[in-house]
Amino acid sequence: MIKKVAILTSGGDAPGMNSAIRAIVKSAHWKGLETFLVYGGYKGLTEGNIVKSSNIEIDRYINQGGTFIYSSRFPEFIDPEVREKAKKQLIDKGIEALIVIGGDGSYHGAQLLHTIGIKTICLPGTIDNDISSSDYTIGFFTALETIVSSVDKIRDTARSHHRCIIVEVMGRYAGDLAAHAGIATGAELIITSENKKTVDEMIEVVDYQMNKLKKDSVIIITTEHIYDDINSIAKEIESKTKVETRGSVLGHIQRGGTPTSMERYLSTIMGNFAIELLCEDKSGFAIGFVKNELVSEPILKALEKPKQKYFDTVEKFSKINQEN
Ligand code: ADP
């Protein structure tokens, strides 16, 4: 059985990464393993920024957002020579295994380390929920809470001024955050990359809702990367409908913050499961939470899974939310 395991966080930070690290460290110690923290993702790994975790007060991180071992974007890791350097850093310290918390890019890096002899396990850490081998990823629930509470506030001001507000949320190319937030806030129009709307279609909805049905506000929620500039779309809607319209890009507030209780639960059971898999000598596996159960499957298989589809659901709820 392995004796030493390292942990790194990579790609976009996500609330719950810290509670996952804590769970991994404590579960590993419980099993008699030594743990090491890699500071700064694959960049830190390649540079040998690896510290034994025994002196760190790990419990204090259970409820902190971000990742206290830092993350990085390090495209150089695509180079096999760079990965060999990273491998050497682990081998020199007698570390046989690495647990990676990150998104699908980070999964690729872990898979490649697995093929050159480092035992790897991946945990889905991304607010975007775009890792289809898990129903939910670490970070998604907290980002969703932030979006929902922000949209609730935006609705207050939209109502007070009879406005339409277009809210752009994160998610990269996945519509999970927009779909869940749109349904949870009763948005009159939910837009994801699967169900893009033209500006004319938006105008039609705003005109009908505000000028015909005399509603006091309209909220449109859209995933990022669909429109170049929601503020110019807002201007166009306003000029055609005479309804005051604004754009609101929620931005980086969606990434940070105290992880929700579901986030802490999910990241803790996943972190513990990662250690259990390593103790069973598993490598090259990705962990997921599917239908209320922890699952694991080869990283490559996890990466091939088709993304969640929301077309019918978001179309239905947009229509229901447009009803008077
Ligand atoms: P995420 O993990 O959130 O999807 P990125 O796509 O930025 O974020 O990936 C995080 C890091 O994983 C990259 O900066 C790089 O170091 C590593 N990585 C991404 N893709 C690959 C790949 N194809 N091969 C090796 N390493 C990769």
pLDDT digits (tens, 9 = 90+) for 220-259: 999 999 999 999 999 999 999 999 999 999 999 999 999 9
Atom of ligand 1 nearest to the CA of 107: 2
Q: Where are the chain's structural domains?
A: 4-139+259-304, 142-255
* Marked catalytic residue, from 59, 79, 104, 128: 128
Q: How confident is the model at residue 66 (pLDDT cuts 50, 70, 90)?
A: very high
Mean pLDDT (the chain, rounded): 97
Say how far apart CA 65 and CA 170 lie, in whole Å: 17
Please, are residues 177 and 308 in contact by the beta-carbon 8 Å criterion?
Answer: no
Per the listing, tokens 């129903």 go with 135
* Cβ of residue 301 lying under 6 Å from some atom of ligand 1: no
Q: How confident is the model at residue 306 (pLDDT cuts 50, 70, 90)?
A: confident
128 is catalytic: yes
Distance 11 CA to ligand 1 centre (A): 6
Region 66-90 average pLDDT? 97
Answer whether residue 55 shows pLDDT above 80. Answer: no
Reduced to 3 states (helix: H, G, I; strand: E, B; else coil), residue 50 is strand
Q: Which residue from 45, 76, 108, 170 has its CB within 8 A of the most atoms of ligand 1, so it is best to mutate? A: 108
Answer whether residue 172 shows pLDDT above 80. Answer: yes
Strand pairing partners for 298?
Answer: 285
* Cβ of residue 108 lying under 6 Å from some atom of ligand 1: yes
Say how far apart CA 47 and CA 3 lie, in whole Å: 22
Distance 196 CA to ligand 1 centre (A): 28
Say how far apart CA 41 and CA 250 lie, in whole Å: 26
Q: Residue 56's pLDDT is what?
A: 81
Q: Quick one: tokens of 41?
A: 């993702």
Q: Residue 264's pLDDT is what?
A: 98
CATH match of 142-255 with 3.40.50.460: yes
Q: Residue 290's pLDDT is what?
A: 96
Determine the CATH number of domain 4-139+259-304. 3.40.50.450
Q: Residue 136's pLDDT is what?
A: 97
Per the listing, tokens 């035992």 go with 119
Answer whether residue 169 shows pLDDT above 80. Answer: yes
Closest protein CA for atom 6 of ligand 1: 105
Spatial strand order of the sheet with 119-124 comes to 50-52, 34-38, 4-9, 97-102, 119-124, 285-290, 293-298
Q: Residue 307's pLDDT is what?
A: 83
